[in-house]
Amino acid sequence: MKAVVLNEIGGVLELREVATPRPGKSQVLIKVESSGVNFAESQMRQGVYPVIPDTPVILGAEVAGVVEQVGEDADADLLGKRVVAVLFATGGNGGYAEYAVASVDEVIPIPDNVSYDDALAIPVQGLTAYFLLTEAAKISGTDTVLIHAAAGGVGSIAIQLAKILGIGKVFAGASSTFKLDLAKSLGADVLVNYSDPDWMQQMQTVTDGQGVSVILSSGTSDIVKQSFNLLAPYGRFVVYGSLDILSSSFGPDQVMQMVFNNQSLTGFYIGAYTAIPGNFKRAANYLLHLVSSGALKIVTSSRYELKDAQQAHEDMANRKTVGKVVLAVNGN
């Protein structure tokens, strides 16, 4: 089969012929139609992610396609089914390929009216947005939320879920007019262009100096620190998907602010939530139902051929992508 291989950390992604994997116990073999690309994989390739895979490696943690084989103890009814899957249980890699092996516990049937590309956004970006709002931030109807990287895979879904879940007002942050227009089309109430030098003052003005009760941040360290000053009393600041927080100059002033304003700073890792028995399939099925019904729109305008995986990584790093980044596989 054809697969995109990383031969060494810091190197480039290359399309090669490799052996087709075989499903083991409680696993299925999926003929991949679409494969997801995530920022974490770009960081792995560069050697700046907390977990660095051994090389050579086929990156990619999520796929959508058709079940072609089932292993021992796997449900034979899955044969021929359109599914979306994450590959965490089988090592978290292997998705940039024509075939991939997944654990049956991480395979979800796709509704007939949902495309492979749309389904692909659910296991990582969709579940991240869902658990960020419902578990990490513990949102309620009286909350106002600022969502950074609003045109990205997580942000574009989080805007819509926030409205579906009844949040009072959604502020969308992005770095260009194009991305903010997209956020508005998805339901954002207030648009924040943080490439403007006075974006903080704009936020203070539009919130009457009150700030917001929830901030979802995956931005750069400067934006992280600046945003913290917009947090209202009793507010929750949730950091996810970015290592830049490590270079932020958080110190006694920020701790003092949290203490005297009863605020919280929370880290988020999706694996801690999907590892809870039943959580993955329950939440994924809920989100797929929203997509199937038309209530949740998936943005998948950043689409590449399998051979162009390296370009996809570079465009993502340079903020040229919007929504879910997809590799088209097997002629899809």
Summarised one tens digit per residue, pLDDT across range 154-194 is: 999 999 999 999 998 999 999 899 999 999 999 999 999 98
Global pTM?
A: 0.92
Q: Give CB contacts under 8 A, 24+ apart, made by 253-262.
A: 254/225, 254/228, 257/228, 257/229, 257/231, 261/231, 261/232, 261/233, 261/234, 261/235, 262/233, 262/234
- pLDDT digit string, tens, across residues 187-241: 999 999 988 999 999 999 999 999 999 999 886 567 777 888 999 999 999 988 7
* Sign, CA torsion 191/189/283/79: negative
State the pLDDT at residue 242: 60
The CA distance from 109 to 101, in Å, is: 15
Phi and psi (nearest 5°) for 211? 75, -165
E strand segments, 104-150: 107-109, 144-147
**What pLDDT score does 172 carry?**
96
pLDDT of residue 89: 87
Task: Please report the pLDDT score of residue 274 as a whole number.
Answer: 86
**Predicted pLDDT at 248:** 58
- Asked if residue 285 is part of any domain, the answer here is no
Q: Please indicate, yes or no, whether residues 185 and 219 belong to a single structural domain of this protein.
A: yes
Do both 240 and 315 map to the same domain? Answer: no
Structure tokens at 307: 């051979």
Backbone phi, psi, residue 291, to 5°: -65, -45
pLDDT at 245 over 60: no
Enumerate residues 6+ apart whose C-beta is below 8 A from 214.
137, 139, 143, 144, 145, 146, 167, 235, 236, 237, 238
123 backbone dihedrals φ, ψ, rounded to 5°:
-60, -35
Same domain? For 70 and 84 the reply is: yes
Tokens 């072609």 locate to: 68
Question: What total number of domains does the chain contain?
Answer: 2
Range of the domain at 31: 2-121+300-328
Same domain (yes/no): 131, 242: yes
The 10s digit of each residue's pLDDT in 293-303 is: 999 999 987 89
d(CA 63, CA 167): 31
Residues 264 and 138 in one domain: yes
pLDDT at 224: 74
Which CATH number goes with the domain that contains 143? 3.40.50.720
Q: Could you tell me if residue 146 is inside a domain?
A: yes
109 and 207 together in one domain: no
CATH, residue 87: 3.90.180.10
* Beta strands 2-6 and 82-86, pairing class: unpaired
Same domain, 100 and 83: yes
Residue 244 predicted with pLDDT over 80: no
- Do 150 and 43 lie in one domain? The reply is no
Give the tens place of pLDDT for each residue, 109-152.
Answer: 999 999 999 999 999 999 999 999 999 999 999 999 999 999 98
> Is 295 a domain residue?
no
Residue 279 lies in a domain: no
Same domain? For 222 and 313 the reply is: no
3-state secondary structure of 294: coil
Sign (positive or negative) of CA dihedral 86, 79, 69, 329: negative
CA distance 310 to 59: 11
pLDDT digits (tens, 9 = 90+) for 249-307: 667 888 899 899 999 989 898 888 888 888 999 999 999 999 999 999 999 878 999 99
**Residues 74-92: what's their mean pLDDT?**
94
Do residues 238 and 269 touch, judged by C-beta distance below 8 A?
A: no
Whether 56 and 116 share a structural domain: yes
How far is it, in rounded angstroms, from Cα 300 to Cα 266? Answer: 29
* 175 in a structural domain: yes
- What mean pLDDT is reported for the chain? 92
Q: Is 47 exposed, middle or buried (0-12, 13-18, 19+ CB in 10 A)?
A: exposed
Residue with tokens 């901030």: 215
3-state secondary structure of 217: strand
283 part of a folded domain: no
Asked if residue 263 is part of any domain, the answer here is yes
Total Cβ atoms within 10 A of residue 197: 7
Does some domain include residue 65? yes
Residues 110 and 129 in one domain: no
Q: Are residues 161 and 247 in the same domain?
A: yes
